[in-house]
Copies of this chain bind each other. A is one copy, B any other.
Amino acid sequence: MPPRATQKQSEPDAVLVSQDVLSRLKGDILDGRFAPGARLRFAELQKTYEAGIGTLREALSHLLPEGLVELDANRGFRVAAISAEDLRDVSALHIEFEQRAIVESVRHGDDAWEAGLVLAFHRLAKIERLPREERRQRSSEWLAAHREFHRALVAACPSRWLLRLRAQMYDHMERYRLVSQRHRPLGPAKRAEHEAIRDAALARKPEQAGELLAAHLRETTETVLRHAPQFMPPP
């Protein structure tokens, strides 16, 4: 039996199931669909993601060194806990990585980087201009656009490792933002701040862009910390 139409041209989305499960699982942890500290049972995961146990273990093993899940022997996986202390720790490193990365990025960025940044800001601004209600419904689009904007800012930084670590910390900060968002009023729009950062980057002012970005992030962290008692575990 021919094993399907033999399409020789390699599909661009020759994606692995485990990678797909990984990204969905990660997204579900980041936006709090799985509560911090919650156990992740295979029976449940199998239904949700329509994948075998081995595939799920593979995805969870990937998230282990990133610090998003934890494992204790013979008792399975748990979503990593959160705490004000951890938030401060994550945030301090995140801000520093972002600042250093954007400084280098502005210094090294070429035309393609500029174009990517302009585009990313445009997409983010477009979503942010939508009426409040529609933005709510399409929150995952805003999330992706916001993530992509911040990625575009630092994309030209030549240190691959700094970018890697920055991305890791961004993930953790996003989780804190999203978990806290369910327990506090939506913060004010940050379009003006984003625009100012973009302008400083395009004007090739590395230090200014870095300062603006750091201030932007510090403010977010403080907002989250201010409402922390509402969603943090009481210890």
Residue ranges of A at the interface with B (Cβ–Cβ < 8 Å)? 14-16, 18-19, 54, 57-59, 61-67, 73-74, 86, 89-90, 92-93, 159-162, 164-165, 169
Contact = CB atoms under 8 A, between A and B. Distances in A.
A93 to B, nearest CB: 5
A19 B57 CA distance: 13
Contacts of A160: 86, 89
Interface of A is mostly: helix
Contacts of A66: 65
A186 B64 CA distance: 36
13 contacts: A14-B74, A15-B73, A16-B73, A58-B58, A58-B61, A62-B65, A65-B65, A67-B161, A86-B161, A89-B159, A89-B162, A90-B161, A92-B159
Nearest to A160: B89
Contacts of A62: 61-62, 64-65
B67 A164 contact: yes
A161 B89 contact: yes
A108 to B, nearest CB: 14
A83 to B, nearest CB: 10
**Most chain B CB atoms below 10 A, which of A14, A19, A65, A89:** A65
A64 B60 CA distance: 12
Contacts of A16: 73-74
Per CB-CB distance, the 3 closest pairs between chain A and chain B, nearest first, are A61-B61, A54-B54, A58-B61
Contacts of A57: 54, 58
A93 B163 CA distance: 12
Contacts of A58: 57-58, 61
A56 to B, nearest CB: 10
A162 B89 CA distance: 8
**Most chain B CB atoms below 10 A, which of A61, A74, A86, A159:** A61
